[in-house]
Chains A and B, each alone.
Chain A
Amino acid sequence: MTMPLLQVQHLHMEFKTSRGTLRALNDVTFDVQPGEIFGIVGETGCGKTVTGLSILGLLPQSATITQGRILFDGNDLLKYSSKEMRKVRGAQIAMIFQDPTTSLNPVFTLGKQLSWVIREHFGISEKEARLRISQMFESVGLPDVERIMRSYPHQLSGGMQQRVMIALALACQPKLLIADEPTTSLDVTIQAQILALLKELCNRFGISIILITHNLGVIAKTCDRLAVLYAGRVVESGPTRDVFKNPQHPYTNGLMRAIPKPSRHGERMEVIPGTVPLNSGDVVGCAFAPRCKFTMERCRQETPTLEAVGYDHYAACFLREENRVG
């Protein structure tokens, strides 16, 4: 394997809240290869968004990273000053968010918003910037460039707005794009179009994409590799094909069964009973134990760590080990 573009190693992060410390990320470890689409999946509240924000250095002030490294092209981003980090954002790593309708500034035209970003990073004239924008719009499949440049966000549909967000993010040719639930707020046909667009951009420009979603089905269609996050911890990671064929963690299994399947009675899916623990700092043993079908005595006392279960395939569960022993 080549040198990874991004390596997140043993990342621990916590929030200071009025009710004390809330541990949001626990020993998160994964890496992203150049030119691949890497999926991060987990239920709401598992820490997907805060993982993305950590990479970008955009965590709220109440958050502290207590341990770990985030290596980008071999450099530890956590050691960067805020000024250096600003140069990384947009130009090296960009991020788009779940809801395009709230992520664009409502009181400026899209042309204005785009030209700010481009001029900030390239220091070029308004005219050159506009040329670049129209190229960007074409590559994300937006027609009628002039009209869109003159529009305000609310004048576009959600799907169009998400395309504009992607164009904005790509405008500075970053090496890594973090897409946080980019299709969750869009309807199904538009979802497919946006995912296809991300895949195409990845092929065409050779950028890496981290695709964050709560829907494992989206990952199956789009990603090369993935990490499954539960309660701020990576519980399984590996190549998409291997993980789907041979899931090694009961949570991954549950997520797979939760993928909506078309059937005679419309969509049908199972849900995993129970909820994600709010504060993984309080948890003793395996965080999934209260919801797991295979919970053993050991699961309530020790915390499982990621172990290799195949080539580039890791899982954090005692089940396999116990079966081997027993």
Chain B
Amino acid sequence: MRKLEFLIRRLLTSFLVLIGVSIITFALARIVPSNPAALYIGPRARPEDIERVSRELGLDKPITVQYIRYMKDVLHGDLGNSIATKRPVRQEISGRFPATLELLFTAMLLAVVIGVPLGVISAQWQGKWVDVIVRTSSIFGVSMPAFWLGLLVQIIFFRSLGWLPLSGRVDSDLRFTNPIEIITNFYLLDTILTHNWIAFKDVALHLVLPAFTLAAYPIGLIARMTRAAMIEVMGQDYIRSARAYGLPNRLIIYALALKNAIGPTLTVIGLTVAYSLTGAFFVEVIYNWPGLGLFTVHSLLNIDYPAIMGITLFGATGYIFINLIVDILQAWIDPRISLN
């Protein structure tokens, strides 16, 4: 019962935050462009056109009425049309989002699978050379700018070694030899579903560099957080008790201690996922990755405010959703949380 109450409370606050975000973005989008209708028509707009479009877009109404109308449309899944492409913003986002999500997901998987064990090992050998190496490299991971790291690995793995492709999601030649049949728009998944192994390999190779570039910061952060949490937990009374009962070291570290340490780490993971959503935009530009990031950059350059609003709302929803999942996971791992 307490868990249900906890869940409802969290859902409610998430909803309120979303409303707040929508009001702010809406207000900004109405204030920043001096005349949205003029933007919509383009540079050769005549005054009468602007007036007509203003009416069509409802820009002559009071701003509260405009907001309510906009939210009504949003709730029906209509984010308006992009000024640049004239196509529905929703279509633009949903068509590109899978590429971003595939990149983000791979990167986060890398971050957790590499970062958590590194942190644990580092804590286990605190002060020894393994620890020193892990700590130094995690400082590198955290402090190296993505574009710099991206460039560096491109030079090493594409230019010098020739092991990995430079950019893009898939080799363009593949379109003729082994075309990918789009089902979910997640290429890894689609190639598996259609047993298109040649394309699968190509897609996977294309993912390596961007995913790693995006993962570098989270890996470093998660490793450091896990290390700190593990060291703290290993000093607790219940770990000493576990030793006093003769439980083996492996069990103590990887089960008894890690489950206690993962709580704070989880918060960091959640934050980095959210943060990496922005990071993904940079990485997409570096690797010419056809996702939301590239689209965002173009929208920003064109002051395509319906697109920018759509992306912001979409991003905020994603961010809040991730935080919600983290909270639920934490409540599930630590039985004490739901009590407060």
Contacts and interface: CB of A to CB of B under 8 A. Distances in A.
Interface residues of A, number: 31
A120 B241 contact: no
A154 B2 CA distance: 15
A49 B256 CA distance: 23
Given A106-B336, A107-B260, A107-B335, A86 B246 contact: yes
Majority DSSP secondary structure for residues of B touching A: helix
A108 B256 contact: yes
B254 interface: no
A275 interface: no
Nearest to A154: B336
Interface string B244-266: 11111001000010011000000
A106 B334 contact: yes
Given A103-B237, A117-B247, A120-B246, 11 more contacts: A56-B244, A89-B246, A90-B244, A94-B245, A105-B242, A105-B256, A116-B247, A117-B246, A154-B336, A169-B245, A172-B245
A90 B245 CA distance: 4
Contacts of A88: 246
B4 interface: no
Interface string A81-106: 00000111111001111010011111
Interface string B222-257: 000000000000001110111111111001000010
Given A103-B238, A108-B256, A116 B251 contact: yes
A47 to B, nearest CB: 17
Contacts of B333: 107
Contacts of B256: 105, 108
B126 to A, nearest CB: 9
B337 to A, nearest CB: 10
Nearest to B238: A105
* Residue among B241, B335, B336 with max Cβ neighbours from chain A (10 Å): B241
Interface of B: 236-238, 240-248, 251, 256, 259-260, 333-336, 339
A8 B256 CA distance: 32
A89 B237 contact: no
B297 to A, nearest CB: 44
Contacts of B241: 95-97, 103-105, 165, 168
A95 B260 CA distance: 22
B334 A89 contact: no
B260 A117 contact: no
Contact of B335 (A91, A104, A106): A106
Contacts of A99: 237
* Residue among B242, B245, B246, B333 with max Cβ neighbours from chain A (10 Å): B245
A89 B245 contact: yes
Contacts of A107: 259-260, 333-335
Contacts of A86: 246, 248
Given A152-B335, A154-B339, A102 B247 contact: no
